[in-house]
Amino acid sequence: MDARDLATFEAVARLGGMGRAARELNTVQSNVTQRVRRLEEALGVSLFERSRAGARLTPAGERLMPYATRVEALLGEAGRAARDDGAPRGTLTVGSLETTAALRLSPLLASYVQAHPGVDLVLRTGTTAEMVERVLGRELEGAFVCGPVAHPQLVSTPAFSEELALLSAPTETTLAAALRRPDLRLVILRAGCSYRQRLEELLARRGVVGLRRLEFGTLEAILGAVAAGLGITLMPRALIGPAWRGGQVRAHRLPAAEARVQTVFVRRRDMLPSSALLAFQKHVTKRQTK
Amino acid sequence: MDARDLATFEAVARLGGMGRAARELNTVQSNVTQRVRRLEEALGVSLFERSRAGARLTPAGERLMPYATRVEALLGEAGRAARDDGAPRGTLTVGSLETTAALRLSPLLASYVQAHPGVDLVLRTGTTAEMVERVLGRELEGAFVCGPVAHPQLVSTPAFSEELALLSAPTETTLAAALRRPDLRLVILRAGCSYRQRLEELLARRGVVGLRRLEFGTLEAILGAVAAGLGITLMPRALIGPAWRGGQVRAHRLPAAEARVQTVFVRRRDMLPSSALLAFQKHVTKRQTK
DNA sequence: TCCATTCCATCAGAATATCAGATGAGCGCG
DNA sequence: CGCGCTCATCTGATATTCTGATGGAATGGA
Query: Closest Cα partner for B146 from B126, B165, B128, B125?
Result: B128
pLDDT, one tens digit per residue, over A43-73 is 989 999 888 888 999 989 999 999 999 999 9
- pLDDT for the residue A184: 82
B 157-176 residues, CB < 7 A, strand D? none
Asked whether residue B81 carries a pLDDT value surpassing 60, the answer given is yes
Q: Which of A1, A47, A81 sits opposite B67 (nearest CB)?
A: A81
Cα atoms in the 13 Å half-sphere on the side-chain side of B239: 26
- pLDDT for the residue A12: 94
- pLDDT for the residue A11: 93
B53 CB-to-strand D distance under 7 Å:
yes
Which positions on strand C lie below 7 Å from a protein C-beta? Answer: 6-12, 18-22, 26-28
When pLDDT is cut at 50, 70 and 90, the band that residue A2 belongs to is very high
Average pLDDT over residues A98-115: 88
- pLDDT for the residue B230: 87
Dist. CA B100–CA B145, nearest whole Å: 8
Q: Domains of chain B: which residue ranges?
A: 3-83, 91-143+270-289, 162-261
CB contact under 8 A, A82 and B3: no
CA-based nearest residue in chain A for residue B48: A82
A30 CB-to-strand C distance under 7 Å:
yes
Q: Exposed, middle or buried, B189 (CB in 10 Å: 0-12/13-18/19+)? A: buried
Through-space separation of residue A52 CA and nucleotide D27 C1' in angstroms:
8
A35 CB-to-strand D distance under 7 Å:
yes
When pLDDT is cut at 50, 70 and 90, the band that residue A189 belongs to is confident
When pLDDT is cut at 50, 70 and 90, the band that residue A86 belongs to is confident
Mean pLDDT across chain B, nearest whole number? 87
pLDDT, one tens digit per residue, over B96-108 is 998 888 888 888 8
Angle between helices B3-15 and B59-83 (to 10 degrees): 120
CA-based nearest residue in chain A for residue B70: A74
- pLDDT for the residue B218: 82
Average pLDDT over residues B123-145: 90
Of the CATH numbers 3.40.50.300, 3.40.50.970, 3.40.190.10, 3.90.1640.10, which one belongs to the domain with range B91-143+270-289?
A: 3.40.190.10
Q: Which of A173-182, B11-20, B126-135, B264-273 has the lowest mean pLDDT?
A: A173-182
- pLDDT for the residue B106: 86
Residue type at A128 in one-letter notation: T
pLDDT, one tens digit per residue, over B279-288 is 999 888 886 6
B55 CB-to-strand D distance under 7 Å:
yes
Contact by Cβ (8 Å): A156, A127: no
Count the neighbouring beta carbons within 10 Å of the beta carbon of residue A9. 28
The residues, any chain, with a CB within 8 Å of residue A240's CB and separated by 6 or more, are: A165, A167, A223, A249, A251
Query: Closest Cα partner for A206 from A243, A239, A252?
Result: A252
pLDDT, one tens digit per residue, over A153-163 is 899 999 888 88
Mean pLDDT across chain A, nearest whole number? 87
CA distance A61 to chain B (A): 7
CATH of domain B162-261: 3.40.190.10
When pLDDT is cut at 50, 70 and 90, the band that residue B211 belongs to is confident
Highest mean predicted confidence (pLDDT) among A127-131, A170-174, A188-192:
A127-131
DSSP codes, B147-181: SP---TTEEEEEEEEEEEEEEE-TT--SHHHHHH-
Asked whether residue A114 carries a pLDDT value surpassing 90, the answer given is no
Dist. CA B290–CA B288, nearest whole Å: 5
Through-space separation of residue A51 CA and nucleotide C6 C1' in angstroms:
11
User: Which CATH architecture fits A162-257?
Assistant: 3-Layer(aba) Sandwich (3.40)
Highest mean predicted confidence (pLDDT) among A140-144, A259-263, B103-107, B212-216:
A140-144
B260 CB-to-strand D distance under 7 Å:
no
- Paired strand residues for B120: B91
Contact by Cβ (8 Å): B86, A59: no
pLDDT, one tens digit per residue, over B239-274 is 877 666 677 888 888 888 888 888 999 999 888 888
Dist. CA B264–CA B149, nearest whole Å: 8
Asked whether residue B290 carries a pLDDT value surpassing 60, the answer given is no
When pLDDT is cut at 50, 70 and 90, the band that residue A265 belongs to is very high
- pLDDT for the residue A243: 59
Q: Report the residue count for chain A.
A: 290
User: Which CATH architecture fits A90-161+262-289?
Assistant: 3-Layer(aba) Sandwich (3.40)
Which positions on strand D lie below 7 Å from a protein C-beta? Answer: 4-11, 17-21, 25-27
Dist. CA B158–CA B160, nearest whole Å: 6
| Domain A3-83, CATH class in plain words | mainly alpha
Q: Where are the alpha helices (DSSP H) in chain A?
A: 3-15, 18-24, 29-43, 59-83, 98-100, 106-115, 128-136, 175-180, 194-204, 219-227, 241-245, 256-259, 275-289
| A150-A156-A159 Cα angle (round to 5) | 125
Strands A90-96 and A119-125: parallel
> Measured CA to C1', what is the nucleotide nearest B53?
D6
Query: Closest Cα partner for B250 from B214, B283, B223?
Result: B223
pTM of this structure: 0.72
Average pLDDT over residues B65-78: 94
A3-83 shares its CATH topology with A90-161+262-289:
no
CB contact under 8 A, A63 and B82: yes
Dist. CA B142–CA B237, nearest whole Å: 25
Through-space separation of residue A47 CA and nucleotide C5 C1' in angstroms:
26
Q: Which residues of B touch A67 (CB under 8 A)?
A: 74-75, 77-78, 81-82
CA-based nearest residue in chain B for residue A66: B78
Q: What percent of chain B has pLDDT over 70?
A: 97
A24 CB-to-strand C distance under 7 Å:
no
Query: Closest Cα partner for A97 from A12, A194, A13?
Result: A194
Average pLDDT over residues B7-24: 93
Q: Which of A47, A74, A81 sits opposite B63 (nearest CB)?
A: A81
Through-space separation of residue A137 CA and nucleotide D22 C1' in angstroms:
39
What are the φ/ψ torsions at residue B241 (nearest 5 degrees)? -45, -60
A 86-115 residues, CB < 7 A, strand D? none
Q: Which of B45, B63, B71 sits opposite A75 (nearest CB)?
A: B71
> Measured CA to C1', what is the nucleotide nearest A29?
C8
Which DSSP letter does residue A271 get?
S
